[in-house]
Amino acid sequence: MAQLKPNSKKGRVIFHIDMNCFYASVEMAYNPKLKGKPLAIAGNPEERKGIIVTSSYEARAKGVKTTMTIWQARKLCPELIVMRPNFDRYREASSAIFKILSEITPYVQPVSIDEGYMDVTGSNMDGTPIDLAVNLQQRILNELDIPCSIGIAPNKFLAKMASDMKKPLGITVLRKRELPTTLWPLKVEEMYGVGEKTAERLHTIDIHTIGDLAKKDSYQLKQLLGINGERLRNRANGIDTRPVDPEAIYDFKSIGSSQTMAEDTTDVNVIQRLLKLLAENVERRMGRKDASGKSIQIMIRYHNRNTITRSRKLQAYIDKKEDIYQIADELFQKHWDGEPVRLLGITVQDVEEKRNIGQQLDLFTYEKVASKEKLYRTIENLTEKYGENPFKQWKSADDKATMQPRTSFQKDFLDDFRK
């Protein structure tokens, strides 16, 4: 069914909502005694090499940063309080936040557990979009005790950039006519969508600011970065036609899991145990989405932070942990150079929902399927007569309202905020 679009005769009004230090803020809301103190959330607080996931602004002021090891963080901030992540608590808070957003407009697109877009174009609001943002920010703070920053712009890219400009509790409006003075002077590394490697490549053609990128010849950028070069140039000029899509949370092409070792290791037994754990995680996440995949990729990060990815295309779809582990282990054994391993990851790619996958018959399944052919024909006749298949096996689109995407350590997904 075609999705209704908000009235946009006067131009779109897009909000990007970004929770400030989300995990730490949730812990402070749960335990107010933590407020005002340097707090960090880390995977293994008992391990010196545990990795900081996020930290409070008090900790950041002392130099504590995400991905820093605990021993490094404590060296900078001896009084640092380190806690394990409580994902159930964070999911509950995220669900409450997105319920508030969805009360304002149905056009809400979560992009992670702690951020999302809203299209408030034509919404029934008292006052201006800034008034709406102020009221929304204050409501989340009053009801949930969680601070957020809000970017207001005519499209998603500019709204995202705007929300990053003032934290915590910032509200920033970014208009296209203001780009030469507000956006273009920023370093190109600060642009959303430009990573470290892309920035390095842009530097080779004398692009150092977002303004340099906005003015660069499209052909030269496409020669350097392919279609992404033109896309980045458009964004730098404030061009982004992507809609705020509430259904985008259900779009996925890969499902993965990764984990940092407690310590760098060359112990094959330890490595294989972790690969089995990662395969189990991937199987579980694929099960939640009723999905299978046709390609396996592993990621190996070494003690010196050098990282490689290797993948294998498969003949058939798989979703079982045993199959995932077997292929991942083979890839690891083939491509591991014997150096100490810091992090491992497994990702199943070319993922499809099972209901969209045509059944691939072989000699072992043909007889079983053929025996059910009369049943299938009967179901088809009933479907033609009464509409949707009354015996449908896979989840329908309406069932998405009951699905609960979960949080993983590397990539956060949301509980369904429409519940």
Q: What domains sit in the chain, N to C, each tagged with a CATH number?
A: 184-236 (1.10.150.20), 252-358 (3.30.1490.100)
Flag whether pLDDT at 17 surpasses 90.
yes
Structure tokens at 243: 């809609």
Tell me the pLDDT tens digit for each residue of 43-92: 766 665 678 989 999 999 999 998 888 999 999 999 999 999 998 999 99
- DSSP 8-state class, residue 47: S
For the chain, the average pLDDT equals 84
3-state SS of 263-277 is EEECCHHHHHHHHHH
> By CB neighbour count within 10 A (0-12 exposed, 13-18 middle, 19+ buried), where does 360 fall?
exposed
pTM: 0.69
Residue 267 backbone phi and psi in degrees, to 5: -70, 110
The CA-CA-CA angle for residues 80, 84, 89, to 5°, reads 120
Radius of gyration of the chain (CA): 24
Q: Determine contact, residues 11/46, Cβ cutoff 8 Å.
A: no
pLDDT (tens digit, 9 = 90+) per residue, 353-362?
887 765 443 4
Amino acid at 24: A
Distances 142 to 24, 29, 92, 242, 357 between C-alpha atoms, Å: 17, 11, 16, 32, 47
Asked about 115 being catalytic, the answer comes back as yes
**pLDDT bracket for residue 385 (50, 70, 90):** very low
In this structure, are residues 419 and 110 in contact, taking their beta carbons and an 8 Å threshold?
no
User: Among candidates 329, 342, 267, which has minimal Cα distance to 298?
Assistant: 329
Express as a percent the part of the chain with pLDDT over 90.
68
Task: Quickly tell me which residue has 């390609």 as its tokens.
Answer: 295
Q: What is the pLDDT of residues 190-219, one digit of tens each?
A: 999 998 889 999 999 999 999 999 999 999
Could you tell me which residues are annotated as the binding site?
18, 114
The answer to whether 392 and 354 have CB atoms below 8 angstroms apart is no
- Options 47, 115, 196, 330, the catalytic residue: 115
**pLDDT over threshold 90, residue 368:** no
Binding-site residue set for Mg(2+) = 18, 114
